Amino acid sequence: MGKKKGGGGGGSGPALKAEEWPLTRGGMQKMAELFTARKNISSGLAKKILEEAHELISRQPTVVDIVVSGKGTASVVGDTHGQVTDVIEIFQKFGLPTKDRKYIFNGDYVDRGDQGCEVVLLLCGWLLCDPTSLTILRGNHEDRSITLRYGFAEEARTKYGSGMYDLFISLFAALPLSAVVNDTVIILHGGLFRSPEDPSKLEPLQTLRDISNRERQKIDECPDKGIIADVLWSDPTPDNKKTILGDNDMRGSGCHFADHLTTQWLDDHNFTTLIRSHEGPDLQDLSLGYSLRADDRLITVFSARNYCGSYGNSGCVVTLGKDCHPRFQVF
């Protein structure tokens, strides 16, 4: 944290300026090179990217439906937590975003690592280059109170100023909460969500779909309870507990949901698989960047390699083809 405006790593300052608009694929690759060298783009360009991305994202539904056809793919990326070199490595290793090579980023782009601004700006830049190629979902760290506690607020204000931090927060509040691929696979950051009327029961997906884009944009700090809190904060029930469906006391928000409830909910919606993120190698065995539960129908994917420079874990991307059979790409 705490880099001076203009970025570190030597050199003569930003090589991309606000005049370089609209963004091009070549410009995005130049941006990746700057971020790898730990340099920042200009404040003007950063502001333009955030404003234009917000305008686009704020029109998206709360649950985004994604179609994969022919030989196309959609790859789900888990938490990256300010480790922008992992995002760049994913694009280098598995291909840049295109309409036939889609990416779904599943939240937690900031905090922990010190290049959260760069992760968000890189993803938003690619989204603006081709809105059909990228979907950016919200995680529990895309939140005003959480970023104040875990480092991103300081990072953004140091690099770009308080006004720019507010633009990041406004963007975070606009992000969709879920994606569905080919009516077969659902992607959520944390997990399943309870009925507001009867917390002993899970709520159908339609209730999440019914949350308007305007309604979700009002929530820059996630409440402790409710459907959005559950989507962003929930975890599968730990193996050493017998909770079927109850409060996630460890997190202080969200719920714990048992494996058999997961399979039943998926069957009720004619889904084969739920892909989530949210848990890192500090909470479960993610040495390969993914884990499987609920008869392999519940996938946790984590994409920040050697998380916090301490865990030695690999990262993973889950790639879906037309048939939506998950392929685990470890890096």
Q: Is 141 a catalytic residue?
A: yes
H helix or E strand, kind and range, residue 320:
strand 316-320
Strands 316-320 and 326-330: antiparallel
Give the integer Cα–Cα distance in Å for 17 and 39.
Answer: 13
Residue 300: helix, strand or coil by DSSP? strand
User: Tokens representing 66?
Assistant: 């994604």
**DSSP string of 108-143, one letter each residue:** --SSSSS-HHHHHHHHHHHHHH-TTSEEE---TTSS
Give the integer Cα–Cα distance in Å for 36 and 67.
Answer: 32
Site of tokens 């909470």: 283
- Would you mind telling me the total number of residues written for the chain in this entry? 331
Point out the catalytic residue in the list 54, 81, 141, 256: 141
Residues that are catalytic = 141
